[in-house]
Chain A
Amino acid sequence: MSTQNRFDWLKAVQLGAIAGITGILISLVGMLQQFDSRDIIAGSLSMGWTMLFLTVIVASYFSAAHQPSKLLSIAASFVTGLVFGFVMCLLTYAVDTFDLRQTLVNASPALVKILTFEDGVPTGLVELVVTVTIAGVVGGVIYILPQRIRKAVSLGLTVMVFLGLMQQIIQVTLSNFPQVNSATAWMFGRGTQKGLSFNGAIVVFLVVTLSNLFWESNATKVNSQIQKMPENRQRSLRILGYGLLLLVVLYLPVLLGLYLTEVVNVTGLFILMGLGLNIVVGFAGLLDLGYVAFYAIGAYTVGVLTSVSGQLSTAFEWNFWWALPVCIFVCVMAGIVLGIPVLNMRGDYLAIVTLGFGEIIRILALSDFLKPHIGGSQGIVSIPPPDFFGVLLNKPQTLYYLIVAGCLLALFVSQRLRDSRLGRSWKAMREDEDVAQAMGINLVATKLLAFATGAAFSGLSGTILAIKLGTIYPHSFALLISINVLSLIIVGGMGSIPGVFIGGLLLAGLPELLREFSEYRLLIYGALLVVMMQVRPEGFWPEETHKREFHENEQVPTQEAA
């Protein structure tokens, strides 16, 4: 923050320009046009414009944060908004005047139409500048609000945008419950572009903001009330809480319906893998980029053992429940076998070699050499769904329970391991291998156990994938999966178990919900990772000590000895 008592022009203009460049990018890659076909608030706010507004609001928020006083903050946000508007104006004008479509496909009249609110160049440009400048000032106003209100307002806006984005899914899901039909009809818009209705949006915003404010101002009171209760009351309250949570978890597939349950399942498989990789990378500090190998080995083992296609050279045709422990065992072994050659490697070298392993496994699965045994490029088909005491696990709603069971198991194991002697030696090894060894930690065993545990979780995820799809192909095990799982750990917070869940929801669940925009998935991913590393390098839900490492100076430096 600026210590000088002067208006920081440079920062305000700079941030506006950065936002402008982002805006140009959003426009020219075609995101704006594609996102414009959907509304967040029916008839008033499209998704494309929401993106532009978010860009300028975030930029002017930071611009406001650099100023010494509240008044100057507002001024700075105004300047930032204005610069952004000016840049967007230039873009619109350029697109309108010159024909750039030869090289920039998206620099089309349609783009101009969106940016000028369909009013054409001279009038629309003024509207454009005025609108985004107002949005910029909104960013500044959000900044000068007291922190509690700022948090509530941001949350309210976020929830509003999210609900608008998810309108279709929510409405389809809620159509199973005719009791709420009139309420949903009122809340959501009509027509093709949908989104929330105008009234619905305002109500959502107000309800979320006010309830957050209410909760924040009463949370400490409630907490101290609970603290005051006798121990056994506290425990029963906690059990009640867990019980309710469990009930919700068990009842979720009924509530969510087919499609959302499927989304949850995909997320669950990623979380399961994430929990495994979190042990390898987060706890033990071994950067493994070939993690997908174990996912593939798990899936292929269950495929070979249970497939009833008759196309493989050896037909085991086992029951899934018999095959499952064998699969886990095979994965653990694979973890150890792949771990041995990399025992002496650290950091980047380890990453590159494991990357190679991942590819080797995929290419082996593709190869003609192993085709008679594992099907080559045709993969393995006819993997029968398992039967659980008479219930066939063949649809999302039933598979859900298997995935939840797997995640809970992995959660339990991770949590126990983290606090164990082994967990501590993993962390020590992550910090400094030599010193850890000098403390008496057996590096070989410790490393191999990390690889083996990680492989087991990933393998479990793979086996569930195999029965979920019923068929497996080599191309399901691309490098991108490893990268994806690694990203979700980074976004959630390295070494943090709740972080894996957050990361999974953000990087596996959300993209699944927004499938229609999957073209831009990697672009948004990249942007998200860059922003994360700048703003919140410790992740969304970091491990306690990791958070302290990054924000040590923000807390009271010394605690008096007790």
Chain B
Amino acid sequence: MALLEIDNIHTYYGNIHALKGISLNIEKGEIVTLIGANGAGKTTTLRTISGLLKPREGTVKLNGEDLAQYKAHEVVYKGISMVPEGRGVFARLTVTENLEMGAYSRSDKAEIQRNMERVFTLFPRLKERRTQVAGTLSGGEQQMVATGRALMASPSILLMDEPSMGLAPVLVELIFDIIQQINKEGTTILLVEQNALMALGIASRGYVLQTGQIVLSDSAENLKKNPTVQKAYLGME
């Protein structure tokens, strides 16, 4: 049984049919990437998984349990944590306060402390800046805050929405290294990216999303070789 099973979900924004029957599976310990152009439905898929949007049809199952019965704020208690698009740090709270908010769903003080240490080990930069207001951090540091905050909930699966967006190439590499490290420490990752090359570089499998539908799914290696993918997403002729 896959850790996360998504079966034929249809999600709407009002009357707009955004996801037209998406199915995907993520096994425990994998990094899976979802690539696609603007407006393909990548973010919508993540928002549906995390319960912020409710699908009209189809199911999202975590460990075989249907998530439809849970409200948006309850999903995180089940082990799904999100790093939102555009980072979404709490701009007027300090770095530490942001991280504490990430642990809102956790009540074990020792566990929170452990997670905090872990985040500071992953991102020593955040330890230096922990009393600083998050809104005044650089883009890369904000991405670190958002990632660290999501890890504070001890998730079994981490949903990452475009972590490379607006970052300098050197920072993108740093963030992707850390994603791999997080994964090695046992967290399953669903990575949504426009930067397909980088994403396919660290993922084991990938799905290609186009106008609300999955048009391709394969191992990352094969996708990188796929001529359609190369042409549309990797910028190769």
Contacts and interface: CB of A to CB of B under 8 A. Distances in A.
A144 interface: no
Contacts of A439: 73, 76, 101-102, 104-105, 149, 153
B188 interface: no
Interface stretch (A121-129, A195-203, A305-313, A423-431): A423-431
A322 to B, nearest CB: 39
B105 A549 contact: no
Contact of A431 (B52, B73, B90, B129): B90
B133 A435 contact: no
Nearest to B74: A440
A440 B71 contact: no
Contact of B90 (A427, A443, A559, A560): A427
Interface in A412-462: 421, 424-425, 427-428, 430-432, 434-443
A424 B101 contact: yes
A438 B128 contact: no
A440 to B, nearest CB: 4
A545 interface: yes
Question: Main SS of chain B's interface residues?
Answer: mixed
B88 A434 contact: yes
Contacts of B81: 438
A438 B52 contact: yes
A546 interface: yes
Interface size class of B (residues with CB under 8 A): 35 or more
Contacts, number: 93
A344 to B, nearest CB: 13
Contact of A549 (B50, B127, B133): B133
Contact of A440 (B76, B129, B133): B76
A549 B84 contact: no
Contacts of B52: 434, 437-438
A216 interface: no
Given A545-B93, A552-B136, A560-B128, A432 B88 contact: yes
| A427, A430, A442, A545: most-surrounded residue (chain B CB, <10 A) | A545
A438 B72 contact: yes
Contacts of A235: none
Nearest to A546: B92
A281 to B, nearest CB: 14
Interface in A514-562: 545-546, 548-549, 552, 558-561
B187 interface: no
A431 to B, nearest CB: 4
Contacts of A437: 52, 72-73
Contacts of A431: 89-93
A443 B100 CA distance: 18
Contact of B73 (A427, A440, A546, A558): A440
B27 interface: no
Interface in B66-111: 71-77, 81-82, 84, 88-94, 97, 100-102, 104-105
A22 B90 CA distance: 40
B135 interface: yes
Contact of A561 (B82, B127, B132): B127
Contacts of A434: 52, 84, 88
A238 B9 CA distance: 62
Contact of A427 (B77, B82, B92, B132): B92
**Range, interface on chain A:** 20 to 34
A440 B73 CA distance: 4
A442 B76 CA distance: 11
B133 A438 contact: no
Contact of A558 (B88, B90, B129): B129
A438 B92 contact: no
A428 B93 contact: yes
A440 B153 contact: yes
B97 A424 contact: yes
Given A434-B52, A438-B82, A438-B84, A428 B133 contact: no
Contacts of B25: none
Given A546-B92, A548-B133, A558-B129, A441 B104 contact: yes
Nearest to A557: B132
Nearest to A495: B92
Contacts of B228: none
B219 interface: no
A441 B88 contact: no
Indicate the member of A427, A434, A559 with the most B CB atoms within 10 Å: A434
B92 A549 contact: yes
Nearest to A543: B92
A421 B103 CA distance: 11
A441 B73 contact: yes
Nearest to A560: B128
A441 B101 CA distance: 9
B131 interface: yes
A321 B79 CA distance: 50
A102 B34 CA distance: 73
Contacts of A430: 92
Contact of A559 (B75, B91, B131, B136): B131
A552 B137 CA distance: 10
Nearest to B137: A552
Contacts of B153: 439-440
B128 A545 contact: no
Contacts of A560: 128
Contacts of A559: 128-129, 131-132
A424 to B, nearest CB: 6
Most chain B CB atoms below 10 A, which of A435, A443, A559: A435
A545 B93 CA distance: 7
Contacts of A552: 132-133, 136
Contact of A435 (B84, B105, B129): B84
Contacts of A441: 73, 104
Given A440-B76, A440-B153, A558-B128, A549 B101 contact: no
A428 B90 contact: yes
A226 B102 CA distance: 38
Interface of B: 50, 52, 71-77, 81-82, 84, 88-94, 97, 100-102, 104-105, 124, 127-133, 135-136, 149, 153
22 contacts: A424-B97, A424-B101, A424-B104, A427-B90, A428-B104, A432-B88, A435-B88, A436-B101, A439-B73, A439-B76, A439-B149, A440-B73, A440-B77, A442-B73, A443-B72, A545-B92, A545-B133, A548-B133, A549-B92, A552-B136, A558-B129, A559-B132
Counting from the closest, the 7 A-B pairs by CB-CB distance are A440-B105, A431-B90, A552-B136, A435-B88, A440-B76, A437-B72, A439-B104
Given A424-B100, A438-B81, A549-B135, 20 more contacts: A421-B104, A424-B104, A428-B90, A430-B92, A431-B89, A432-B88, A438-B50, A438-B52, A438-B73, A439-B101, A440-B77, A442-B73, A545-B92, A545-B94, A549-B133, A549-B136, A552-B132, A560-B128, A561-B127, A561-B130
